[in-house]
Amino acid sequence: MEQMNELVESVLESADEHGLWAPHDTIVVAVSGGPDSVALLRILHEISVNRIPLNLVCAHVNHGFRAESVEEAEFVRKMAGELGVPFELAEFDIPSLAKGSGLGPEGTAREKRYQFLIETAHRYGARSVALAHHADDQAETVLMRLLRGSGPSGLAGMRWKRTEKKVELIRPFLRINKTALVGLCRDEGFPYAEDASNLLTKYKRNVIRLEVLPSLEKYNPKVKQSLLQLSEIVGAEDEFMEANAAKCFDELVLMKHGKYTFKRALFAAIPSALQRRLIKLILNYLSADSSTLDFSKIEAVRRGTLQEHPTVWSLDLGGGLICVRQYDTILFSSKPPQRKVSYTYRLSLPHSRLLLTEIGKVMTMTVLEKETFLVQGEDYGKMSAWFDSDELVLPLTIRSRLPGDTIRVMGLNGSKKVKDIYIDDKIPSSERSEIPLVCDGLGNIVWIPGVRRSMHAAVGRHTASVLLLSLEDMEQHEEA
């Protein structure tokens, strides 16, 4: 009983440190039947009876891999019955399910197992699911991630608790090694099942356990302990950095219409460690699947942002995510760039209002006496333009941009390409197709709203009446 007391104290200490439970919580305990999970159920039961009132539910999954699976399910059912703990069983034919899943047998088994455990927690109104991962599992996890080139979040290993679908997954054994758990079962006479597949090196984790770690232990007998220390230190520092990245996000990132943007100068001012985390955080917000977000993609965004040139670029990050630089603005989106809109409308007197539904704008045309215009003219902004009514050739055409468009700008000899004007004004390429062009009856571009007007039909000393054009958002126009 002495070993049971020691392990109970260790688990209670970890639970208190990491806030794993509170009195009267309902906890679903995942029990495979092996020594680790048998020890977990026994220790949590001991705690619930003699230390802290907890409501336990024993959950077992039969993956259908091995002939002994049915016997193991019955063994776990019997143990739960002896302890007076409710028992829940799920049975899956993983070999069949794996064929169509693309995840392989291990991945499919894991996905189905967690799905069942979380569903069971929801049915019982449980706060958490307890998993029997221990210190040796943690050391193996950290080493596996180290070998595949993981960042700090990966090297922190498995977390003491994390939330998935409003259920906490808790791991009370992360500081307890396997030897202690097997020793408890043997000393206390707790029966358990042996899984022969743990000795098969076709599984990556088993290769780490059976070959890589023993080889490393020749150089450092305490390599597991070193890996555990690494996970503890990195885990705490990772949480600190994550909190700082979240703070940076709040201060630097603007979210609008499902797109995230930040200014290049503000980004350049923060340390590179936070730059990487900020990019990763934005991409995690945009996509639930972060598996494609490797270091090289995040670094491509970071370096592209910091470089002086080119000032305009687009990166496909995979998984439907794109990052676009538009001069001093960096934009992230989960949607492809807007398709180029194409439209042509005619506008002539007496009609004075035109809906441009493709771009959500309204064009209005008003004729004013010159005296009225001279009084009010100062109030018209960049989204308005005025022309000599007698000089402007109607009907007007309002259309989307075409390749090779040019405009004769006031104060400039000859014509200038519309594209070059957009580049000079640093108008992002994604916004260019949204800007309509106004042409006179002869086909000359006379106005680009918010950008330029041409030299045609300028208001002068001899102007008798003024034709005023204005472009507004549909919502603004309706409110007015």
Question: According to the model, what pLDDT value does residue 205 have?
Answer: 82
Distance CA(471)–CA(473), nearest Å, equals 7
Closest CA to 365 of 470, 466, 474, 457: 470
Q: What are phi and psi of 421, to 5 degrees?
A: -65, -45
Please check if 424 is assigned to a binding site: no
pLDDT tens per residue, range 390-444 = 999 999 999 999 989 999 987 777 889 999 999 888 887 777 888 999 999 999 9
Tens digits of per-residue pLDDT, 309-359? 888 898 888 777 889 999 999 999 986 555 667 899 999 887 788 999 888
First to last CA, the chain: 81
Instruction: Give the CA distances from residue 77 to residues 43, 82, 299, 364, 426, in Å, rounded to whole numbers and listed in that order.
Output: 17, 9, 51, 77, 69
Cis ω before 395 (30° cut-off from 0):
yes
32 annotated among ligand-binding-site residues: yes
Question: How far apart, in whole angstroms, are the C-alpha atoms of residue 17 and residue 235?
Answer: 14
- The rounded radius of gyration (Å) of the Cα atoms in the chain is 34
Q: Which pLDDT belongs to residue 65? A: 65
User: Which residue in 286, 316, 314, 322 sits closest to 429, CA to CA?
Assistant: 314
* pLDDT-above-90 percentage for the chain: 62
Q: What are phi and psi of 394, to 5 degrees?
A: -100, 165
- Flag whether 33 is marked binding: yes
What's 188-227 look like in SS3? HCCCCCCCHHHHCCCCHHHHHHHHHHHHHHCCCCCHHHHH
Please tell me what DSSP assigns to residue 66: S
**Could you count the other beta carbons within 10 Å of the beta carbon of residue 428?**
15
Q: What is the pLDDT of residues 8-21, one digit of tens each?
A: 999 999 999 999 99
pLDDT of residue 475: 65
Tell me whether residue 34 is annotated as binding: yes
Q: Give the separation between CA 181 and CA 135, rounded to whole angstroms.
A: 11
Kind of pairing, strands 321-326 and 329-333?
antiparallel
DSSP symbols for 237-281: HHHHHHHHHHHHHHHH-EEETTEEEEEHHHHHTS-HHHHHHHHHH
What own/partner pairs with CB < 8 Å and gap ≥ 24 does 179-187 have?
A: 180/3, 180/7, 181/7, 181/35, 181/36, 181/39, 181/132, 181/134, 182/35, 183/3, 184/3, 184/4, 184/7, 184/39, 184/42, 184/43, 185/35, 185/38, 185/39, 185/42, 187/3
Nearest alpha-carbon partner for 238 in 267, 270, 281, 208: 281
Domains and CATH numbers, the chain: 2-230 (3.40.50.620), 253-333 (3.30.465.60), 344-479 (3.50.40.10)
Residues 225-230, mean pLDDT to the nearest whole number: 96
Residue closest to 428 by CA, chosen among 299, 302, 259: 259
The β-bridge partners of 472 are 362
Instruction: Check pLDDT > 80 for residue 284.
Output: yes
- Over residues 236-264, the mean pLDDT reads 94
How far is it, in rounded angstroms, from Cα 177 to Cα 194? 17
Residue 427 per-residue DSSP state:
-
pLDDT in tens, 164-200: 999 999 999 999 999 999 999 999 999 998 866 665 5
List pLDDT tens digits, range 27-45.
999 999 999 999 999 999 9
Decide which of 258 and 239 is more confident.
239
Whether the CB-CB separation of 325 and 372 falls below 8 Å is answered with: no
CA 318 to chain centre: 13
pLDDT, position 428: 78
Position 50 pLDDT exceeds 90? yes
pLDDT of residue 480: 46
pLDDT at 68: 74
